[in-house]
Structure formats: C-alpha cells, structure tokens
Amino acid sequence: MPANSAIKQVSEVSWEIPVSYKQGMHVPARIYATRKLLDNMDSGVIEQATNVACLPGIVRYSYAMADAHWGYGFPIGGVAAFDTENGVISPGGVGFDVNCGMRLIRTNLRFPEVKPKVKELVDLIFSLVPAGVGVKGSENFAQSQMGDITSLGVRWCAENDLAWEDDPQHVEEGGFIKGADISKVSRQAISRGVSQFGTLGSGNHYLEIQAVDPARYLDRELAKEFGIVHDDQVMVMIHCGSRGFGHQVCSDYLRTFESGMRRFGIEVRDRDLACLPFSSKEGQDYYSAMVCAANFAFVNRQIIVNKVRDAFSAVFHKDAESLDMHLIYDVCHNVAKVENHSYDGAKAKVLVHRKGATRSFGPGHPDVPAAYRDIGQPVIIGGSMETGSYLLVGTQKAMEDTFGSTAHGSGRTMSRTAAKKEVRGAELQRKMLDRGIYVKAATMDGLAEEAGMAYKDISEVVETMDRAGISKKVAALRPVGNIKG
Amino acid sequence: MTYRFLPDVALADIAFEAESDSVDGLFETCALAITDIMVDPKTLRATTKRKLSLQSENLDRLLYDFMTELIVLKDVDSLLFGDFDIKVTADGTSLEAVAKGEPIDRERHSLRNDVKAVTMHLFGVRRQGRSWKTTVVLDI
C-alpha cells in the first residue's frame, strides 16, 4: 500500500481513515492489519473501503479485515452494516458467489492411520465430487423442487435423508436463512443451478483433508469443545458456494439495481456498488432471491459432505457415524443478513454485508448453536492449499467492534495471471507431494493460480484478528490431501 | 482486434482489456477472451451452432448480457464456443449472433477456469479515436 498520511493508527492492529479522506464518506473506514499487512495491502482496498463508506445508510464504519484485497465494488474482506430503514442493500456487497462459505467436518481418525490412505481418499472424493468448468452434479432434482430446497436449505436435506439429524444445527442460521422467495429468482438462475448441486466449482474452491497442527497452534481445552481431542486428528474442510444459481441472481439484480438507482437519486463510485434502499421493492426482491441462493449453497455443501462421508466409509470400511464424521460448523462468508446489534448505546436491527468476511458471534449469543453457546461460534478461516487453515471462535469483542465479524481467509497478494507466470501447475503438484500434500486438480492452470505464494501469510492474518480480539484461535490445520476445483 | 489480460486488477479474479475497430469486433473479442479463460481454444472444435438474439437498453448492457449469455450456455448446456459471427444493430441495442463450438469434453478439452460472472467493476464500452474498447473483470 502506498504511504498515506490519512491513515491513522488506532491500536497495534487497527487503523482508521477519516471521513475527510474522500468527499461523500458518511463513516470512517477501519482496517485490521499489522503494520506489515497494511504496508503490503493493495491500494484497491483503501479506495474500495472508502467507496463503501459513501453508501447511503452505512453505520459506524466501513471495515476491511486483515485478509482484505482488491475485489469489485466492495473489497474482498469487507464488512458494512446498514440501517434497515434508511440504508441500502447491494448485490455487489454480497458478491456473485452468494454464501460462498466453509464447512469443517471432524473424524475420529488420527493422521498415522490416514496417511497411507490419503491418495485413495483424494482420488475417490475427486470422482464423487465434480469440480472444474461447467460440471454437473450427481443429484437429479427437478426444477419444481427448487422452491422447497432453496427455502428450507439443510433442513430440507434432513427431511429427505440427505443430512444427519444434527447437521442443520451445526450450520450458520440452523441450515437456512429465513425470507426466501423463489418467485424472485430468474428462470436462468434456476436453470444454471438445478444440475449443479454437489459440485465444487473452480477458482479458489477446494476440498481438503487436514490434520490438526499443534506445532503451529492448538488450544487443547477449547478444541475439545469441538470434538478435537487428538493432536493429529484428521479433519475435512470444504470451500465452495452457490454455483451458477447464486452467480446469476447477482448478475440479474445488478442490472435491476443499476437502473433503479436513478429513481432514488443514488450515485455510486463503482458500478458494482449499485445499491437500492433495503426497504424498496427491488431491495426486498433481491434479499429474497439472495436468501434462496444462500440456502442453495448450504445444500450444495451438504451434498458434498454426504459424498465425503461415503468416501471415508468406503476406504476405512466403517460407517461414517462410527468415524464420528459430524459437522463442526458451516459458515457463510459472502452474504447480507438482518441482525440485531448494539452500537452507539442503542440496540438496532442492521443489514450486515459480509463480502469475504465471516460472522464471529461470541459466547451467549442466541444464534450460536446450543453446543457452542458458552464459547462462541466456530469461525473457519481457509488458507491456501499449501499453507493450511485455522479454526477460531467468535468473541464478545467482535459483537462490540465489528458487528460480529472477522476475516475469512488468507487473502491474495498476487493475481491469477501473475501466479501462473511464477509457477507451473505440474511442478507445484510435485513439490507439494514432496512436502506430504497429495493434490488432485481439475486443471493444472487452476492449480498454479492457487499456489501459496499468491496469498498472504495466513498465520499473520489470524494472529491479527486474534490480537484485535474479534476472533480467538483454537487450532491450526495443515493440508495433507487436496482437491482443487 | 485484440485482448490482453490485466494482471494487476482485482487479484482474485481475471480482468482483460479488449479493443477492436468495430462494435461487432469488440463483442467477438470479448467472447474469445472469455473462451480463452475457460479452455485452450486450440482444443475446441466447431461441431455445434447456436443462434443468439439479444436486446438491451444500450451498448454497455448489450455487451454485459452477451457475455453473461455465454456463461449461462456453459452452465446450462455445457457448451463452449470458439467461433463467432456477430452483428450489432447501429443503435447498439440488439444483436444477432451465431456461435460455433462444442459440448465440454473433459478428455479432449484442455479446460482452465470456470467463469462465474461478468462484474460491472471498471466495465463500460468506450470509443477512443477509431477504436472501440472495454475493460472486463470476470468473477472466477
């Protein structure tokens, strides 16, 4: 990031850009970063976070988390809350991949017993979970079922033998967000999505077999609350979203919103910041369609989990229940939700946009599942396929400081085009195997683009959020097998 | 008629700049760039033909809708295209196109990135001298 005298240090790991930085800012921008992360943050983050600060009805701050990088409209790693009566909703503030998110499943297996089976597991899962360009899933749902699926999410799965009884309660919002209305979703979106359930996608989406990594970090007492009881316990992490269904919902409403802004006299600094009053008909229609897409994503990840359970069961000749393959949690990191928060000394309903940011609700919050209510919700931070990931918990300080939000991943520092110039996919695959990570990728180009060097240091990102107090480290997880979309 | 990728824009996504001496050529260039992102065009044959007719409010929207349509055809009908014949009307609000390509074949096609969507970030058709230009950021 270029040196900028407007950026004021607030604490060891937080910074502020005042409203005087740019004409039209309603609130300051707040950035969470160490000095090193801030120095290396691309200038797009500053411009985009301050553009978001200009949107009507934004309250308190426009936030950029430690993993922030240049996105479109909002920065990736951005959080913004809006007054539900006088504020706006923005499809670009959610992103095209509505409810892109992370799922973490535990097993009771320990790494030494899984190590000789990693290749077999990865190859089998790769054959069961389609990944890459234009893939179709194995579930044949009818278009007429899409209304029920997208309104009930994982609860629909549980009612149709596609989820375990306790799966829905271990998904953010209990497995479905209320307010879905399929009549607000275009025919094109439904056509794109109906055949894509259970598919991983492409880009930075992945499915990873991981082992707990106590050498990097493990809080054994906290980890126990999530069923992590061994220092080398094996986990599975899934990163994907709402596929073509969500992508089309965003595309459709971006057009609607851009036209509608003129009527409301709203001007924005980037076309992807198109927004309309949340209370407007278009704003409510988008919210209902976006919720359908979010619930689609929950179901997509559920079907993938079913395949993972099948694969482990086949390889270890035990049923998945015996392998204790329960969900630890499923978090959204591209979404807008109506939530109750307290700020400026009062309680209020706000519409919180998290674009590349994770909910981080603290202990005692009624929306945290009963099993975790004393400690806070699980926060799953996915890293690059080379460097590993983290499990954290939400905190009361996040409720006070960031509308219950924290980072979502390690954040890119290098574009896809640049990464491909630095390394070839096949070479990277060999090097990772030498380091004990077996990777199977839909394409070698896609693999090269996701090399660890293209990302920030995830430990520094996680450490920043931990030191800021808006999420607390529980366990580091290291990759041992990876399926790259 | 050229496109070039912009490595320093929108890090997690893929951006390109396209240029042509005609509007028809600009649309064709954008379509070829999107295909190039999803598949090695050299591995793509022209065994299937699709006719596209689109109408929109203005030239910007027409190009956005045209690119989105190609992404929809990839998801819904598993089709990728490497050859385009496009005619945009003089007022820039409608087009007729013939796209030639084939269904995705994972054995034979050298596949690359799955394009999720066309973003509006930095997007817009502009005239510079005798050239037509646009910048496109695709969500990957």
pLDDT for A218 equals 98
Task: Report long-range pairs for A10-18 (Cβ below 8 Å, ≥24 apart).
Answer: A11/A468, A12/A467, A13/A66, A13/A464, A13/A467, A13/A468, A14/A468, A16/A61, A17/A46, A17/A49, A17/A50, A17/A53
**The domain spanning residue A36 has which CATH number?**
3.90.1860.10
**Crossing angle for the helix pair A243-264 and A281-316, nearest 10 degrees?**
170
In chain A, the number of structural domains is: 1
Range(s) of the domain holding residue B92: 2-135
Q: Identify the three-state secondary structure at position A226.
A: coil
Does some domain include residue B36?
A: yes
Does some domain include residue B27?
A: yes
The rounded radius of gyration (Å) of the Cα atoms in chain B is 14
| A interface test, pick of B116, B126, B137, B138 with most A CB neighbours within 10 Å | B116
**The domain spanning residue B98 has which CATH number?**
3.55.10.10
Does some domain include residue B140?
A: no
Does some domain include residue A423?
A: no
Range(s) of the domain holding residue A360: 8-413+455-484
Does some domain include residue A438?
A: no
pLDDT tens track of chain B, all 140 residues? 799 999 887 777 899 999 999 999 999 999 999 999 999 999 999 999 999 999 999 999 999 999 999 999 999 999 999 999 999 999 999 999 999 999 999 999 999 999 999 999 999 999 999 999 999 999 99
- Six token digits for residue A466: 């931990």
Q: Using CB atoms, which residue from B12, B13, B121 is nearest to A271? A: B121
Catalytic pick among A205, A333, A341, A408: A408
Does some domain include residue A1?
A: no
Give A-chain residues touching B13 at CB under 8 angstroms.
Answer: 71-72, 416
* Partner-chain contact B76 A192, CB within 8 Å: yes
Does some domain include residue A446?
A: no
Helix ranges (H only) for A211-335 are 220-224, 243-264, 281-316
Does some domain include residue B9?
A: yes
Does some domain include residue B118?
A: yes
Q: Identify the three-state secondary structure at position B129.
A: coil
Cα distances (Å, whole numbers) of residue A430 to A37, A422, A436, A437, A440: 30, 15, 10, 9, 11
Does some domain include residue A419?
A: no
The shortest C-alpha distance from A292 to chain B (Å) reads 18
- Six token digits for residue B135: 């910048």
Does some domain include residue A182?
A: yes
Q: What residues contact residue A322 under an 8 Å CB cut-off, 6+ apart? A: none
pLDDT for A385 equals 86
Q: Using CB atoms, which residue from B11, B64, B124 is nearest to A42? A: B11
Q: Using CB atoms, which residue from B14, B68, B72 is nearest to A417? A: B14
Note if A408 is an active site residue: yes
| B interface test, pick of A76, A247, A258, A484 with most B CB neighbours within 10 Å | A247
| pTM as predicted | 0.96
Does some domain include residue A475?
A: yes
pLDDT for A418 equals 85
pLDDT tens track of chain A, all 485 residues? 545 789 999 999 999 999 999 999 999 999 999 999 999 998 899 999 999 999 999 999 999 999 999 988 999 999 999 999 999 999 999 999 999 999 999 999 999 999 999 999 999 999 999 999 989 998 889 999 999 999 999 999 999 999 999 999 999 999 999 999 999 999 999 999 999 999 999 889 999 999 999 999 999 999 999 999 999 999 999 999 999 999 999 999 999 999 999 999 999 999 999 999 999 999 999 999 999 999 999 999 999 999 999 999 999 999 999 999 999 999 999 999 999 999 999 999 999 999 999 999 999 999 999 999 999 999 999 998 888 999 999 999 999 999 999 999 988 888 888 888 888 999 999 999 999 999 999 888 888 988 889 988 999 999 999 999 999 999 999 999 999 98
In chain B, the number of structural domains is: 1
d(CA A155, CA A174): 8
Does some domain include residue A409?
A: yes
d(CA A178, CA B61): 32
Q: Does B137 touch chain A (CB under 8 A)?
A: yes
For residue A95, the tally of other CB atoms under 10 A from its CB is 33
* Partner-chain contact A95 B11, CB within 8 Å: no
Does some domain include residue B96?
A: yes
pLDDT for A427 equals 92
* Partner-chain contact B120 A418, CB within 8 Å: no
Q: What is the complex's ipTM, to 2 decimals? A: 0.91
Q: Does B75 touch chain A (CB under 8 A)?
A: yes
